[in-house]
Structure 1
Amino acid sequence: MQIIECQQSLPQPYRWHEFLAFHARDVQQRSERLQPQSRRLFKALIWHGQPALMVLQWNERQVQARLHWPGDVVQDTDMHSQHQQQFQALLLRMLGLAWPPSALVQALGCHAELGPLLDRQRGLHVPASPTPFEALSWAIMGQQISVAVAVSLRRKLIEAAGLPLHSSTQQQVPEAAHLRASPDAEQVLQLGEGALRDLGFSQAKARTLLCVARAVQEGLLPLDDWAQQSARGLWNESTVEVMAQQLLAVKGIGPWTVNYCLLRGYGWPDGSLHGDVAVRRAIGLLTGTDKPDARAASDWLAQFKPWRALVAAHLWASLADKSY
């Protein structure tokens, strides 16, 4: 058993609303347990092929993170440092700090329509899933259905194929004993199409998820490698375009799924979510016009490159702002 620890200071202000809402999607809490009053999150995840438990504890200015992992204790100094760096990068993505959105406010704070919204929602950061495969799976499940139905599918998938925490982890952290890590590509492939259909997946969703899992296993979609490249600062628009084309080559994956995965799996700030119904509705409210179609929404978001995905996140949040 290993315990990896790190900490992360928070920009000020840091708005916790989006982070808490993201990890409270499922009230049954099968993969994560959120304790808002004590400011703690217990999150099960797959780490280097094994179920692990991340424990986050925070205050207004800092997050303490601890990872309980049932792997052998790493004696090699370089390998230990590599694991530490990977965990730090994962924490940054989860907190929405991979590309700090403060630059968005600096660049667009004076925009006539968007500027006032950015000011009202100052400190908004976009939380991400701990692994890119979990983010992509969630995006596939969420295609063209309500959030409530997608959450139900996610829960059933975790219950059917998610990995339980190691017994030693359950003993160390009994509050998280019931959690299961969201399945990775290997566990999804073991289910097969019939089992996914029995869980309530449509034939199209089941086949798309299996195609993605197979491509990951075969190295055609190196999702984790892309995350490491991102953490080393090796991403640019050309890199992301190549990634997007590889994802789009999978039948059943379209631009919305790609850009949502880039945002929720990697924290990439510039995917255009113009096909998102909620984004389009928020654009109409913000501009005082009818809800635009996808093409018009794409044209409107284009002025905000390279921050289109972060702008979309502000638009999502605006729909919950009852004063707006």
Structure 2
Amino acid sequence: MNIPINGTFSFRECLWFLNRNFDDCMHTTGVDYVRKAILINDQPVLFEIREGKQELVVSILHGNNTAVTQKAIEDFIHEWFDLSRDLSQFYDQLSSHKDVSYMSRDFAGLRLIGIPDLFEAICWCIIGQQINLTFAYKTKRRLVEKYGGKVTYEGQDYYTFPSPEALADASPDILREMQFSGQKVVYLIGIATVFKEERMSKALLLALPDVAAQQKALTAIKGIGIWTANYTLMKTLRIPSSIPYGDAGLLNALIAHKIISDKKDLDALNEFFRYFKGWESYLVFYLWRSLAPQNG
């Protein structure tokens, strides 16, 4: 199965983001491929993506290779890699700003890699609160291996994120043994219960009239603050104006580019982002990218 690529796209840059030397259990990367398991009609499917000539070459490694499966995988990849977006206007704006103009060249083709599953995105925010990324990925792996789904292919395990039902019924004691704080245990089980009872879903959020209403709906759930709401809107709903204010990596990148003088310089931050109206989320993603060496 081949997925045509239109516009500027760099599989290498996207693969860099998916790797970054972190132990992410939700996909597996190689030098020139990524493998991921997802659920299609509640059945696990494992696929592999490699780069072709102006296309992505997708192979189904486990699961029924039907037209329905192929369409579901194609739709997922389009959403995951944000393939439908034309970045030319964003690159024009980057090129015209002296402080970040290099990004349109050095990071050309990097797409905002999303988290299509709203529940997974929110849980990931909770898991990562107030700890470093390395430890966050370790605890995430423990959670997913215990409560998620699994596909085994050629002796290697590939995981799908736990369902709300699985986490809602999780043992608080077991979660604490995984080194989740008491507060995170309460939040994770509570949020899972909200999703299990269908009081929150991606469809419900998408039906709301504007970003403010979406933020309000998310932050009404115990454990979800404005940072988590904005991160989720950025990574799952792909709201272009979403900025995760207060994010440590974002603030460090802005200071490194001399755009703000310190982490409390909100006026300078807002002035900078106004220049990129409509592309704020992409700018955040590229600023995060700037924190790592170009060679990944």
| 1:17 matched residue in structure 2 | 13
The 1:101–1:21 alpha-carbon spacing in structure 2 relative to 1, beyond 3 Å, is same
Separation in structure 1 between the aligned mates of residue 168 and residue 257 of structure 2, nearest angstrom:
43
Tell me the CA shift for residue 134 of structure 1. 2.1
Alignment of 1:28-177 (within 5 A): 30-36=25-31, 39-59=32-52, 61-67=54-60, 85-165=71-151, 170=152, 173-174=153-154, 177=156
Q: Deviations over 1:16-73 (max 9, x none)?
A: 224333245544x64422122xx222212333333322322223521123456757x9
The 1:243–1:48 alpha-carbon spacing in structure 2 relative to 1, beyond 3 Å, is farther
Give the structure with the larger helix fraction.
1
Q: Deviations over 1:168-190 (max 9, x none)?
A: xx4xx426x42222212122123
Tell me the CA shift for residue 15 of structure 1. 5.4
- Which letter maps to 1:178? D
| 1:247 matched residue in structure 2 | 218
Q: Secondary structure at the match of 1:41?
A: strand
| 2:165 matched residue in structure 1 | 186
- Which letter maps to 1:280? L
Tell me the CA shift for residue 239 of structure 1. 3.6
Separation in structure 2 between the aligned mates of residue 209 and residue 59 of structure 1, nearest angstrom:
40
Separation in structure 2 between the aligned mates of residue 322 and residue 107 of structure 1, nearest angstrom:
21
Tell me the CA shift for residue 98 of structure 1. 4.8
Alignment of 1:248-263 (within 5 A): 248-263=219-234
Tell me the CA shift for residue 86 of structure 1. 4.3
Separation in structure 2 between the aligned mates of residue 114 and residue 51 of structure 1, nearest angstrom:
41
Separation in structure 1 between the aligned mates of residue 26 and residue 237 of structure 2, nearest angstrom:
20
Q: Deviations over 1:91-127 (max 9, x none)?
A: 1122133534333123443134333433433222121
| 1:273 matched residue in structure 2 | 244
Tell me the CA shift for residue 286 of structure 1. 1.3
Q: Deviations over 1:190-230 (max 9, x none)?
A: 3132222221111222222222211111112112x369x6x
- Which letter maps to 2:149? L
Q: Secondary structure at the match of 2:28?
A: strand
Identity %: 21
The 1:292–1:95 alpha-carbon spacing in structure 2 relative to 1, beyond 3 Å, is same
Per the normalisation by structure 2, the TM-score is: 0.84
Alignment of 1:276-295 (within 5 A): 276-287=247-258, 289-293=260-264, 295=266
Per the normalisation by structure 1, the TM-score is: 0.78
- Which letter maps to 1:193? P
Q: Is the CA contact 2:15–2:29 (under 8 Å) kept in the aligned structure 1?
A: no
Q: Is the CA contact 1:275–1:294 (under 8 Å) kept in the aligned structure 2?
A: no
Separation in structure 2 between the aligned mates of residue 60 and residue 140 of structure 1, nearest angstrom:
39
Q: Secondary structure at the match of 2:115?
A: coil
C-alpha root-mean-square deviation of aligned residues, in Å? Answer: 3.0
The 1:242–1:288 alpha-carbon spacing in structure 2 relative to 1, beyond 3 Å, is closer
Q: Is the CA contact 2:49–2:57 (under 8 Å) kept in the aligned structure 1?
A: yes
- Which letter maps to 2:42? G
Relative to structure 2, which stretch is displaced further, 285-294 or 207-216? 285-294
Q: Count residues in correspondence.
A: 294
Tell me the CA shift for residue 151 of structure 1. 0.6
Q: Secondary structure at the match of 2:227?
A: helix
- Which letter maps to 1:106? D
Tell me the CA shift for residue 266 of structure 1. 3.6
| 1:314 matched residue in structure 2 | 286
In structure 1, the gaps of 5 or more residues are 75-79
Tell me the CA shift for residue 322 of structure 1. 6.8
Q: Secondary structure at the match of 1:178?
A: strand
